[in-house]
């Protein structure tokens, strides 16, 4: 049916780079595009370029398992991610682009009494900070998710689960395309195939970028390159950051009739699963344990994830795996992000998203835009500084933050 449509207009233009912009955003992933959109929409700054090494959506924004949630415990995190959730709830309307945000909920399964206590404590912290959380008993879980073994005989018995009803999934590449089209319509130049290869400097101050398409001067340069943060910051002479790059893999099974209408996470290992509209199970586990900039992983994690899936849903053991892929994660040392001015004058840094930056996309762009426009953080990202690692003021929430369990 689509072949009959001949005169489709591109969703964003393909301009030539101008010699100078007010803001250059490095990285055309979800966060870079959202930043440009909110800079234009909220702060009236439209002389912006987003410079992207490849094509839009080629990075993690197009590779993730699309889980959106705000089920954190520490106040800085739950408030930030809850702000993101509220932006998600209006995003299709705001962008006039269907990002297919489906609030099907997320269920974190607890398998030991101490884990149950921990989850209930987190649920209470969420309620305290304005998020939603419900504790489900094994009987309620059995009704909600078919195929789970909730008997006491299970290899990892299910003692209950923390459910966030407003959590869910979204169509990841639509998020990139929606923000790109929105930014383009507000006057932002999106420059694809425009890798940054160096920084222009006046003393310490960053005054622009060198790219494969020539030099571009800028009053402000904002970095949002996720897993490539270490490599890009090294070009500016910053070679020590509290970030490690690791590959995270994702998997899709053959199509099955709909049977999981929520997101389920396994508390006795590291597994999260939802079912796509096409029927495939979309799932993932832990990062590959070594540092890497490769966008594909290795077999030990594949084996681990598959065995966890079979342990949680024994009936799925014969289901075939259709495909897998990987993306490069910017793992921060406390599991929480960095959205900050600096570390050099004229520069702004957005990084440290670990496994969980897709759900952060709207709030990350919104807060980063604020920080760039006002040369100071918004209260929602005031704690997400780089120097917290020097000061010992870490926001250590790897248990809930960097991992979805």
Segment lying near ligand FAD (by CB under 6 A), choices 1-9, 55-63, 148-156, 213-221: 55-63
Q: Considering only residues 41, 270, 359, 388, which one is a binding residue for ligand FAD as defined by CB under 6 A? A: 359
Query: Using the rule CB under 6 A, which residue among 23, 162, 216, 248 binds ligand FAD?
Result: 248
**Shortest distance (Å) from residue 328 CB to ligand FAD:** 7
Q: Please state the closest distance from residue 262 (CB atom) to ligand FAD, in A.
A: 14
Residue 160 makes contact with ligand FAD by CB under 6 A: no
Please state the closest distance from residue 153 (CB atom) to ligand FAD, in A: 31
The answer to whether residues 346 and 206 touch, using CB atoms and an 8 Å cutoff, is yes
251: contact with ligand FAD by CB under 6 A: no
Question: For 365-385, b where at least 16 C-beta lie within 10 A, e where not — what string?
Answer: bbbbbbbbbeeebbebbebbb
Of 309, 291, 384, nearest to 84 by C-alpha is: 384
Strand partners, 161: 109, 136
Q: Is 26 in the site for ligand FAD (CB under 6 A)?
A: yes
45 versus 176: smaller Cβ distance to ligand FAD: 176
Q: Facing residues of 61 across strands?
A: none
Place of tokens 């319509």: 185
| 83 phi and psi angles, rounded to 5 deg | -60, -40
By Cβ distance, which residue is nearest to ligand FAD? 29
- Only one of the segments 109-117, 144-152, 221-229, 312-320 lies at the binding site for ligand FAD (rule: CB under 6 A); that segment is 221-229
**Does 31 sit near ligand FAD (CB under 6 A)?**
yes
Map the footprint of ligand FAD across residues 328-357, applying CB under 6 A. 353, 355-357
List CB contacts of 153: < 8 A, sequence separation 6 or more.
none
**Cβ–Cβ under 8 Å, residues 353 and 337:** yes
Identify which of residues 181 and 359 has a Cβ nearer to ligand FAD in the complex. Answer: 359
Which of 334, 339, 248 lies closest to 296, judged by CA? Answer: 248
- Member of 358, 366, 368, 370 binding ligand FAD (CB under 6 A): 358
Number of residues near ligand FAD (by CB under 6 A)? 39
Q: Which two tokens stand for residue 372?
A: 């760039």
Interstrand relation of 106-110 and 263-266 (parallel, antiparallel or unpaired): parallel
Please list, in sequence order, all residues whose beta carbon lies within 8 angstroms of the beta carbon of residue 298, skipping any fewer than 6 positions away.
Answer: 288
d(CA 104, CA 102): 6
Asked if residue 123 binds ligand FAD (CB under 6 A), the reply is no
Q: Find the shortest distance in angstroms from Cβ 143 to ligand FAD.
A: 25
Q: Does 51 bind ligand FAD (CB under 6 A)?
A: yes
Mapping DSSP to helix (H, G, I), strand (E, B) and coil, where does residue 340 land?
strand
Residue 379 as a binder of ligand FAD (CB under 6 A): the answer is no
Exactly one of 17, 21, 27, 388 binds ligand FAD (CB under 6 A); that residue is 27
User: DSSP readout, 85-117?
Assistant: HHHHHTHHHHHTS----B---EEEEE-SHHHHH
Least CB distance from residue 152 to ligand FAD, whole Å? Answer: 31
- State how far the Cα of 232 lies from the Cα of 217, in Å rounded to an integer: 17
| Residues 340 and 352 sit within 8 Å (Cβ to Cβ) | no
Residue 380 binds ligand FAD, judged by CB under 6 A: no
Using the contact rule CB under 6 A, the part of the chain among 131-139, 180-188, 219-227, 299-307 near ligand FAD is 219-227
Q: Of 64, 70, 253, 332, which one interacts with ligand FAD (CB under 6 A)? A: 64
Q: Which listed residue (208, 284, 362, 377) binds ligand FAD by CB under 6 A?
A: 284
CA distance 101 to 90: 9
Q: How far is the CB of 17 from ligand FAD (least distance, A)?
A: 12
**Is the Cβ–Cβ distance between 372 and 231 less than 8 Å?**
no
Among the listed residues 17, 30, 160, 182, the single contact to ligand FAD using CB under 6 A:
30
| Contact residues: ligand FAD, CB under 6 A | 26-32, 51-54, 58-61, 63-67, 195-196, 224-228, 232, 248-250, 284, 327, 353, 355-359
């Amino acid at each position: 049916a689509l072949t009959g449509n001949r005169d489709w207009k591109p969703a964003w233009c393909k301009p030539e780079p101008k010699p100078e912009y007010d803001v250059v955003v490095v990285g055309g992933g979800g966060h870079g595009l959202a930043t440009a959109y909110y800079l234009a929409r909220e702060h009236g700054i439209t002389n912006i370029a987003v410079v992207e090494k490849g094509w839009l959506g080629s990075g993690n924004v197009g590779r993730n398992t699309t889980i959106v949630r705000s089920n954190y415990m520490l106040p800085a995190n739950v408030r930030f991610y809850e702000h993101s959730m509220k932006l998600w709830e209006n995003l299709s309307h705001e962008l006039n682009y269907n990002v297919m945000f489906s609030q099907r909920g997320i269920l974190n399964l607890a398998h030991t009494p101490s884990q149950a206590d921990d989850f209930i404590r987190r649920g209470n912290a969420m309620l305290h900070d304005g998020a939603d959380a419900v504790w489900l008993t094994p009987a309620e879980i059995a009704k909600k998710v078919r195929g789970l073994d909730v008997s006491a005989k299970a290899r990892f018995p299910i003692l209950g689960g923390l459910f966030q009803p407003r959590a869910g999934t979204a169509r990841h590449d639509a998020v990139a395309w929606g923000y790109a089209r929105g930014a383009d319509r507000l006057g932002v130049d999106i420059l694809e195939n425009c890798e940054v290869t160096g920084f222009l400097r006046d003393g310490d101050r960053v005054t622009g970028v060198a790219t494969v398409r020539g030099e571009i001067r800028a009053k402000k340069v904002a970095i949002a390159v996720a897993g490539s943060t270490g490599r890009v910051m090294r070009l500016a002479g910053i070679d020590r950051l509290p970030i490690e790059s690791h590959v995270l893999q994702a998997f899709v099974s053959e199509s099955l009739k709909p049977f999981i209408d929520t997101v389920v996470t396994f508390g006795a290992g590291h597994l999260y699963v939802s079912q796509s509209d096409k029927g495939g199970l979309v799932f993932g586990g832990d990062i590959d344990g070594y540092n890497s900039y490769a966008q594909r992983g290795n077999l030990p994690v594949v084996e681990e994830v598959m065995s966890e899936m079979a342990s949680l849903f024994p009936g799925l053991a014969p289901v075939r795996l259709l495909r897998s892929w990987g993306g490069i994660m910017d793992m921060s040392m406390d599991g929480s992000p960095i959205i900050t001015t600096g570390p050099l004058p004229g520069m702004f840094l957005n990084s440290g998203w670990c496994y969980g930056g897709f759900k952060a996309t709207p709030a990350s762009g919104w807060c980063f835009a604020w920080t760039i426009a006002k040369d100071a953080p918004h209260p929602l990202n005031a704690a997400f500084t780089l120097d917290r690692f020097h000061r010992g003021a870490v926001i250590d929430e790897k248990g809930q933050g960097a991992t979805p369990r």
